[in-house]
Chains A and B, each alone.
Chain A
Amino acid sequence: MNSFWAVFKRELKSYFTTPLAYVFLVIFLFFSGYLTFKEGFYEARQADLKPFFVNLPLLFVFMVPSTAMRLWAEERKVGSVELLFTLPITIVQAVLAKFFAAWLFLGIALALTFPLVVTVCYLGNPDIGLIVTGYLGAFLMAGGFLAIGCFFSALSKNQVIAFVLSVVACAVLVFAGMPTTLNYVSTFLPPGMVAAVEGMSFQVHFDSMQRGILQFQDLAYFVLLIAGWVAACAIVLDERKAS
């Protein structure tokens, strides 16, 4: 087991040795179920998970930064960052290990929404391909939000500041793709810029995956977004770890 796996394992275990994982999972599962069944699920008379996926970006805006805020802010606050970076591990290995552990944790949270899938399968004959691409999109979106949260957690020692900044950054990237936002920005920006704003948003790329369309540009968007923010996290951490 190399250093990457050691940190990955420690990080993933740490979620479950504290109440954090259980509190997060209970709240996430409650709201994901509540928002799905709140309105339109039965009335639509359609066996799909659209009501679940539609509300997911909004839920993630708050839930993912709450997972990400502790990643580096806590390490810097308690000083364990000094222990970690005087062990034989590179910054890139440590950042990736912690990021992937948190991403897997979010994957577990998403996997635990399986009763929703069982419900729609029981009620009708849903398009499984649509559900799979929806979950893939949700997992990639969680990774994107997490990468942003990871960056802000490295930027500030204070977890509350890291959380607020992450929520704002994630919200901007979600709401940038909403029709109301695009209508507003089109009043003063040229069409090319409006398309650029739309292209930067999570919403557009997630929507197309929800519809079952797996495009290279959507996958590339999430991969580049995650890689960019994680790389920025490593750079910031290298600069600020001792401050």
Chain B
Amino acid sequence: MIEVKGLRRRFGPVVAVDGVSFSAAKGQVLGLLGPNGAGKTTTMRMLTCYIRPDGGTASVCGNDILTDSIGVRRSLGYLAENSPAYPEMTVGGFLKFICDVRQIKGRRRRQALDRVVPMCAIDSVYHQTIETLSKGYKRRVGLAQALIHDPDVLILDEPTDGLDPNQKHEVRKLIGAMAKDKCIIISTHILEEVEAVCSRAIIVARGKVLVDSTPQELKDKHHASLDEVFRKITRSKCA
């Protein structure tokens, strides 16, 4: 469902992503791991067609990010870092706006709202303006907008950032429940999250893919916890 071939992106003299390639299929939850500044968010932004790559390409559900960016954006749901939204809008108004842009109308819109609002547990804040919500609720509203069109591919940039332990557990449970029908990519540097939800882990640092494996394989191969494996790999290969 996702095919990434040699993606490259520079910001001035800084090479943010340097020839990243991987693929992900339906039923997989792929964890993009890496230290801050590793290129995770830039990779996701290229996959969602927010920024153009300097080199390489990728396809999402058969749509190329360079030639069919609208097709790509139709087929995926994206939760950006910090869950950006329109602060002055109510949660309901915001979700209806997303439905309008995605051309989900009438009965389909009511069904979509009836599905995602309880799923993301935002019923109690449905009529509240987004600026008055806590970070956790904002994150859940962001997740709801990413799920509203029931996409085949989900790209979630640090989905549990800012959530309390209970909310983290709920979001991980939700990701786990959706995993079998979708292809999900999550970026994180919380390693317990990778063990909890990811069926595959890619470690990136300085814009390059260092490891592509499963969390269990990584632990078995290095005879260490995922934390130690992460430190060992990112330090030794970046040194």
Contact = CB atoms under 8 A, between A and B. Distances in A.
A86 B78 contact: yes
B88 A242 contact: no
B48 A86 contact: yes
B50 interface: yes
Interface residues of B, number: 25
Contacts of B114: none
A88 B102 contact: yes
Contacts of B105: 1
A128 B80 CA distance: 54
B200 to A, nearest CB: 23
B84 A87 contact: no
B84 A1 contact: no
A10 interface: yes
A6 B97 contact: yes
A83 B84 contact: yes
Nearest to A94: B101
A88 B70 contact: yes
A83 B49 CA distance: 11
Contacts of B139: none
A80 B101 contact: no
B87 interface: yes
B100 A5 contact: yes
A12 to B, nearest CB: 12
A60 to B, nearest CB: 25
Given A80-B86, A83-B84, A242 B51 contact: yes
A6 B50 contact: no
Contact of A17 (B51, B80, B88): B88
Interface in A65-115: 78-83, 85-90
Q: Which of B70, B84, B105 is packed against the most chain A CB atoms within 10 Å? A: B84
A18 interface: yes
B101 A86 contact: no
Q: How large is the interface on A (under 10, 10 to 19, 20 to 34, 35 or more residues)?
A: 20 to 34
A3 B100 CA distance: 7
Contact of A83 (B74, B85, B100, B103): B85
B73 interface: yes
A14 interface: yes
B219 interface: no
Interface string A1-23: 11101110110001001100000
B98 interface: yes
A141 B96 CA distance: 34
Contacts of B100: 1, 3, 5-6, 9-10
B121 interface: no
A82 B84 contact: yes
Contacts of A241: 50-51
18 contacts: A3-B103, A6-B100, A10-B89, A10-B97, A14-B86, A14-B88, A17-B89, A78-B86, A80-B84, A80-B86, A81-B84, A82-B45, A86-B80, A88-B70, A88-B73, A88-B74, A241-B50, A241-B51
Given A82-B45, A83-B145, 17 more contacts: A1-B103, A3-B100, A6-B100, A10-B97, A10-B100, A14-B86, A17-B88, A78-B84, A78-B86, A82-B80, A83-B84, A86-B50, A88-B70, A88-B74, A90-B70, A241-B51, A242-B51
